[in-house]
């Protein structure tokens, strides 16, 4: 909690909006993008080298300031495109981070954005500053407070993939249950019980048997399914979703 005395001027002594905003302390505002990528059963995150001497050899998220003429959303899409070439990625705002000493150069408040994509479907057309996909399981030497931002976004993603069918966008249109389980295991970072996993998905009743089987696989070929988005959309929970 803050120790600012309660005697501080509470209500502004001006009724003029411009005067009021001029009286406010000004702060640099940045965005940071946590882009998760799925590839060959592995979850990765996009990392880049910082330009700063404080962080030589350390890794940072994709970030930059927001300008006076753009929203944080617009800044996030702009920075992502500029630094990676990616322009067809949906970003979700996750959280604002504002510890006063989080940036070594002065006060910087940052807003974190998150996304999950299939690496094979999205080409990085710019890889300056050692931009690369890094497995989330490997140790990462983070610059700034980016470990905290990464972990917050990773937790957000792990919760979200249990509540929304976003994992299916990582799979081919027709997929096996083994592939589906691979997506969940990679993102949740744990092995899942095969039978419980299958039961759970069949209970939800959004998987459709295509009548086809896997081809050219090293294991016993499994059935191929599609995800019925139409059924999912029309059956979305309303209040009866109360469930905790």
Residue of the chain from 98, 127, 137, 210 that contacts a copy of itself (CB under 8 A): 98
Residue of the chain from 78, 122, 134, 223 that contacts a copy of itself (CB under 8 A): 78
Shortest approach of a copy of itself to residue 219 CB, angstroms? 23
Separation between Cα atoms, residue 120 and residue 61, nearest integer Å: 20
The answer to the question of residue 181 lying near a copy of itself (CB under 8 A) is no
Shortest approach of a copy of itself to residue 99 CB, angstroms? 6
Nearest to 184 by CA among 194, 151, 223: 194
Nearest to 92 by CA among 148, 171, 33: 33
The answer to the question of residue 230 lying near a copy of itself (CB under 8 A) is no
For tokens 């995800």, the residue is 227
The answer to the question of residue 14 lying near a copy of itself (CB under 8 A) is yes
Are 140 and 134 contacting, i.e. CB atoms less than 8 angstroms apart? Answer: yes
Nearest to 179 by CA among 154, 204, 197: 197
Shortest approach of a copy of itself to residue 38 CB, angstroms? 17
Shortest approach of a copy of itself to residue 9 CB, angstroms? 10
The DSSP line for 201-234 is: HHHHT-EEEEEEE--S-SS---EEEEE-HHHHHH
Task: Tell me how many degrees the CA angle 160-164-166 measures, rounded to the nearest 5.
Answer: 90
H/E segment holding residue 223: strand 223-227
The answer to the question of residue 70 lying near a copy of itself (CB under 8 A) is yes
Token readout for 164 is 């929304």
**Cβ count near 42 (within 10 Å):** 14
The answer to the question of residue 72 lying near a copy of itself (CB under 8 A) is yes
Shortest approach of a copy of itself to residue 216 CB, angstroms? 29
Cβ nearer to a copy of itself, comparing 30 with 176: 30
Cβ nearer to a copy of itself, comparing 162 with 210: 162
Residue of the chain from 33, 38, 83, 84 that contacts a copy of itself (CB under 8 A): 83
- What one-character DSSP code corresponds to residue 124? -
Shortest approach of a copy of itself to residue 215 CB, angstroms? 28
The answer to the question of residue 52 lying near a copy of itself (CB under 8 A) is yes
Give the range of 39-47, 48-56, 117-125, 132-140 binding a copy of itself by CB under 8 A: 48-56
Site for a copy of itself in 118-177 (CB under 8 A): 128-129, 161-165
Separation between Cα atoms, residue 23 and residue 212, nearest integer Å: 67
Token readout for 17 is 């909006």
Shortest approach of a copy of itself to residue 17 CB, angstroms? 3
Give the range of 36-44, 50-58, 116-124, 215-223 binding a copy of itself by CB under 8 A: 50-58
């Amino acid at each position: 909690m803050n120790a600012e005395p309660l005697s501080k001027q509470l209500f502004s002594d001006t009724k003029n909006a411009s005067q009021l905003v001029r009286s406010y302390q000004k702060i640099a505002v940045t965005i940071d993008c946590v882009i998760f990528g799925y590839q060959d059963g592995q979850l990765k995150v996009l990392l880049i080298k910082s330009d700063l001497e404080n962080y030589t050899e350390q890794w940072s998220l994709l970030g930059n300031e927001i300008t006076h003429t753009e929203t944080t959303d617009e800044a996030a899409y702009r920075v992502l495109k500029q630094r990676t070439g990616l322009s067809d990625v949906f970003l979700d705002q996750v959280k604002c981070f504002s510890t006063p000493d989080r940036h070594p150069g002065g006060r910087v408040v940052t807003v974190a954005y998150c996304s999950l994509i299939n690496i094979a479907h999205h080409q990085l057309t710019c890889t300056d500053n050692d931009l690369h996909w890094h497995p989330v399981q490997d140790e990462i030497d983070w610059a700034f407070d980016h470990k905290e931002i990464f972990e917050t976004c990773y937790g957000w993603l792990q919760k979200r993939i249990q509540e929304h069918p976003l994992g299916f966008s990582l799979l081919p249109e027709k997929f096996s249950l083994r592939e589906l389980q691979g997506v969940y295991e990679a993102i949740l970072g744990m092995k899942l019980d095969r039978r419980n996993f299958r039961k759970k998905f069949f209970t939800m009743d959004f998987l459709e048997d295509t009548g086809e089987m896997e081809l050219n696989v090293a294991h016993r070929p499994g059935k191929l399914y599609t995800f019925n988005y139409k059924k999912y959309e029309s059956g979305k929970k309303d209040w009866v979703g109360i469930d905790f």
